[in-house]
Structure 1
Amino acid sequence: MGDGTVTLRDMTAAVSPARAYRRLSVEERRRQLLDAALSLFAHRAPDEVSLDDVAEAAGVSRPLVYRYFPGGKQQLYEAALRTAAEELEQCFAEPQDGPLTRRLGRALDRYLAFVDEHDAGFSALLQGGSVVETSRTTAIVDRVRRSALAHILSHMDLGEAPGPRLRTTVRMWVTAVEAASLIWLDEGKQPPLDELRDLLVEQFVAQLAAAAGRDPQTAEVVRDALALESPDGPVGELARRVLPVVADAARMVAGPAPGGGAH
């Protein structure tokens, strides 16, 4: 109207942006802030990200960030880290059918894709040194390692609890996966991810085979796992490449046959 009277439509239009701003539920708003924080932590070290950065990325005010995370950056970082950890834990959740190496390869595809997507954040997380690193953040990372260990052991169909030698072998491999991921980032994301995945699967098989010579339980795991492998699978390919090298080395170590050497 042209007489200066404020209509109901005018009032609705004036308050609609505020209503839209508050339309998200508490959980939805919290999820929005965590997503913004995770996106920033993925590509920048945690101590390089401020609450103002998170607020700007989420399109909200700094006081709103504090409303949901009154503990400030530390609380927000730990919440974001727990969210990332939950995603990492699920990387090793795999249906228990088919050859063990195939299952492991699919799990590694998911794990390495996460590393690729969250490169700087993953590196800062595992290497430490952040101003926000605490015993709680360390515990969150350790939970991912324990989860990976539990998932891998569950694929071995053990008739009894895993012994210390088998657990140690798998834990060593989980540590090797973390180290390889950091090295891969440091080397400019080379070699290609599928090559890194295959290398890690082969190292898993080699570590199990080496431990099998010392531990009957691990030897049984290896026998059962090999029974499901196909000649054109990762184990068959590894055997074709490695066995000739091992055979040559064995002959060199054994030396000439008795009576056949020079006097």
Structure 2
Amino acid sequence: MTTGVRRRMGVEERKQQLIGVALELFSHRSPDEVSIDEIAAAAGISRPLVYHYFPGKQSLYEAALRRAADELAARFVEPPHGSLGARLLRVMGRFFDFVDDHGPGFAALMRGGPAVGSSTTNAMIDEVRQAAYEQILAHLEVAEPSARLELVVRSWVSLAESTALLWLDGRRVPRAELELQLVHDFSALLTVSAAYDEEMAELVIRILAGEPADGPFGDLVARLAALVPQVPAQRPA
């Protein structure tokens, strides 16, 4: 039984509460559809008090996106233990945990939502992508990536982002399959690039040397090998 007495919050504590409430609402509906009145009601305060802490919905929206962006970037942090394929699979698991839990909010973060065109929002999105890029390079143990490697890693980060956005529209492909497929996509991008560049080839050889046969990369090799007998042999000209 409650007494009805509310504890007075400090300024920063109240701001963090409002950000948390906004993120929770954004997890179920697009920020465009969430009003300040709803945020105030969910926080148990009045509409004017919300404006006391945030000048407007845009300000609160950007603060919520800041927290979401920091949390999303942290999902790519992984201790350097085990094979690369296993590490990337764990990263994808945490990434899709976030996407699953914050569907509309994730879409708003990546697409701009009501803040589309905002330099602040665009900068936050770029920070998430850069953090993911730097973490992948750390896993590869490469301090100064070549132009080809930068292209591969940034392309894969974009692929993971676009895949997650498409998956949210109906979740028609099992999530676990997509997580594994994205790890396979990364190894495939590396391998194709290695066919054109000796430095990339050396990197791929080094990575594969540490991959177990029953790991994600070994799984891809097995799947591709199973396709080979089904590929019609070309007749000589």
**TM-score when normalising by structure 2:** 0.92
1:179 to 152, 158, 162: 162
Question: Residue 41 of structure 1: CA displacement?
Answer: 1.3
Which residue in 1 is equivalent to 2:224?
A: 242
Structure 2, unaligned runs of 5 or more: none
Which of structures 1 and 2 has the larger relative contact order (alpha carbons within 8 angstroms, sep 6+)?
2
1:195 aligns with 2:177: yes
Which amino acid counterpart does residue 120 of structure 1 have in structure 2? P
Which residue in 1 is equivalent to 2:59?
A: 75
CA–CA distance in structure 2, aligned partners of residues 87 and 131 of structure 1? 20
> Highest Rg: 1 or 2?
1
Question: Residue 31 of structure 1: CA displacement?
Answer: 1.1
Question: Residue 233 of structure 1: CA displacement?
Answer: 1.2
CA–CA distance in structure 1, aligned partners of residues 70 and 217 of structure 2? 31
Please show how residues 160-239 of structure 1 align to structure 2 within 5 Å.
160-186=143-169, 188-239=170-221
Which amino acid counterpart does residue 119 of structure 1 have in structure 2? G
* Further displaced range: 214-223 or 224-233: 214-223
2:212 partner SS: coil
1:109 to 93, 104, 110: 93
Q: Residues 36-74 of structure 1, C-alpha deviation per residue, up to 9 Å, x if partnerless?
A: 00011112112111111111111111122111112x101
**Taking every aligned residue pair, what percent have the same amino acid on both sides?**
47
Question: Residue 127 of structure 1: CA displacement?
Answer: 3.0
- Report if the CA contact (8 A) 1:47-1:132 is conserved: no
1:90 to 71, 74, 78: 74
Which residue in 2 is equivalent to 1:37?
A: 22
Which amino acid counterpart does residue 27 of structure 1 have in structure 2? E
Question: Residue 125 of structure 1: CA displacement?
Answer: 2.9
- Report if the CA contact (8 A) 2:133-2:154 is conserved: yes
Question: Residue 180 of structure 1: CA displacement?
Answer: 0.8
Please show how residues 112-191 of structure 1 align to structure 2 within 5 Å.
112-128=96-112, 130-133=113-116, 134-158=118-142, 160-186=143-169, 188-191=170-173
Q: Residues 161-193 of structure 1, C-alpha deviation per residue, up to 9 Å, x if partnerless?
A: 10111011111111111111111111x213222
Question: Residue 221 of structure 1: CA displacement?
Answer: 2.0
Structure 1 vs Structure 2 CA RMSD: 1.9
CA–CA distance in structure 1, aligned partners of residues 232 and 215 of structure 2? 25
Question: Residue 113 of structure 1: CA displacement?
Answer: 0.7
Q: How many residues were matched structurally?
A: 234
1:62 to 18, 26, 47: 47
CA–CA distance in structure 2, aligned partners of residues 164 and 27 of structure 1? 44
CA–CA distance in structure 2, aligned partners of residues 218 and 58 of structure 1? 53
CA–CA distance in structure 2, aligned partners of residues 86 and 124 of structure 1? 15
